[in-house]
Structures are given as structure tokens and as C-alpha cells.
Amino acid sequence: MKKKDLKKVAVLVSGGGSNLQALLDATRSGEIPAEITLVISNKPEVYAIKRAEDSGIPAIVLDHRDFASAEEFSRAILKRLQETEVDLVCLAGFLRILAPCVPEAYPNRILNIHPALLPAFGGKGLYGMRVHQAVLASGVKYSGATVHIVTAEPDQGPIVCQEVVPVKDDDTPQSLADRVLQVEHRIYPEALRLLAEELIEVDGLRTRLKTKPN
């Protein structure tokens, strides 16, 4: 596919960047008609930045602590996204809530990955290891990962991909997190492919696969 036809993607990160790496590998392989052209981290010196630099991708730090409010931080991110003319945005281990101005500027064009089967175990305060602790405490026998479209309501956008994993009797939060992370690395590239190929139709909270792109 010619470079000009590739969707330009920005990836927002806060930590290790294993989901960023999965997206980098998938876009580099040509299986997704997209290229990652910018990485934005809200934290300096996280391994995700090194992953971007090792791949020759511009990485910038917009430290949320440098801004007077979440709104100002979000507007600074929005400005960078618009300046670099990205088409799509992926939140990958990004731990800040974006103000509505960002999803409003990119309707149905921002994805997020959550390490549980939303809408269960999502929302305020449920991120990272806290999700797996809550899953184990609840006694459910299955968990998994969800890729959803980002809207103004955290963790409540239309779901694009999900995959289930078993919760085992001897699981710890870490062993469950490791099992879910493997699923994340599979379904996030698949969700980005569907979005980049314009195969996702959004109907309220539901998404359906189009038989062919627009």
C-alpha cells in the first residue's frame, strides 16, 4: 500500500509500552494500513519512549503535572495531534483521563485498551493491577481484555474487540495480568486494523463490522 494511503496514528502511553510495541510490530509488518507517526507520554523516562525511539518514531513528553488542569493538559495533547495531522489515536497503557475536547475532535477515531471485560471492572479507579485485584476479589471465573472507542465517558465507549481468559484458582493479580496482557497484544492490533480499514460501524454502544469499507 502506498505510504500516502496509510492512516497516521498517534499512540498515547504512560508506562512500559508493551501494547505500543504490539502496535508497532503489527503496523511495521504491513498487516494494518496504518503507520505510527507520533508517541506521546505523560511521564518522562518510561520504557515506552525508548520503544518509540528504537523504532525511529518521534516521542514527546507532555507531563500532566505541568498543566493547571486536566482540560489544559488535554488541550495540549489535542494541539499536538492536530499539528501532526494524525487520523487515529490509540491509548496504550495511558493512565490519564482525556477531557471531552479530545474525543469530540476525533469522533470514533480513538481506541483504548482495558484489561477486563468492560463494562465490568471499568471506570474510576480501576486501572492496571487494581483491575485484576478487583476481578479476583469478585470471584468471577473469566476475565479478559477489551478494546473500545474512546468517548467523553471513561471506559464506556462502544466495544470493538474483546477476548476472554479463564481465571484460575491459584491466580494472583500478577498471573492474571500476564494472561490478560497476552490477549491485549493480540486484540489491539486487530482493532486498529478494523478501524484503519474503516470496517467499523458504530450504532449507539454497539459496533458492527461493515462488509466493505466506505
Among 7, 18, 42, 171, binds ligand GRF (CB under 6 A): 18
Among 128, 152, 186, 197, binds ligand GRF (CB under 6 A): 128
Give the footprint of ligand GRF on residues 149-208 (CB under 6 A). 181, 184
Q: How many CB atoms lie within 10 A of CB 167?
A: 20
Instruction: Please count the residues of this chain forming the interface with ligand GRF, following the rule CB under 6 A.
Output: 14
If one asks whether residue 33 binds ligand GRF (CB under 6 A), the answer comes out as no
Cβ distance to ligand GRF smaller for residue 78 or 155: 155
Q: Which stretch binds ligand GRF (CB under 6 A): 17-25, 32-40, 63-71, 98-106?
A: 17-25
Catalytic annotation, residues: 114
Among 40, 64, 93, 97, binds ligand GRF (CB under 6 A): 93
If one asks whether residue 16 binds ligand GRF (CB under 6 A), the answer comes out as yes
Smallest distance, ligand GRF to C-beta of residue 68, A: 26
Q: Residue 165 pairs with which residues in a beta bridge?
A: 143
If one asks whether residue 135 binds ligand GRF (CB under 6 A), the answer comes out as no
Q: Which stretch binds ligand GRF (CB under 6 A): 2-10, 11-19, 26-34, 194-202?
A: 11-19
| Residues 75-89: b if buried by 16+ CB within 10 A, e if exposed | ebbbeebeeeebbbb
From CA 23, how far away is CA 55, in angstroms rounded? Answer: 12
Write out the three cell numbers for 198: 474503516
From CA 138, how far away is CA 130, in angstroms rounded? Answer: 12
Cβ distance to ligand GRF smaller for residue 154 or 199: 154
List of residues contacting ligand GRF (CB under 6 A): 15-20, 48, 92-93, 113, 115, 128, 181, 184
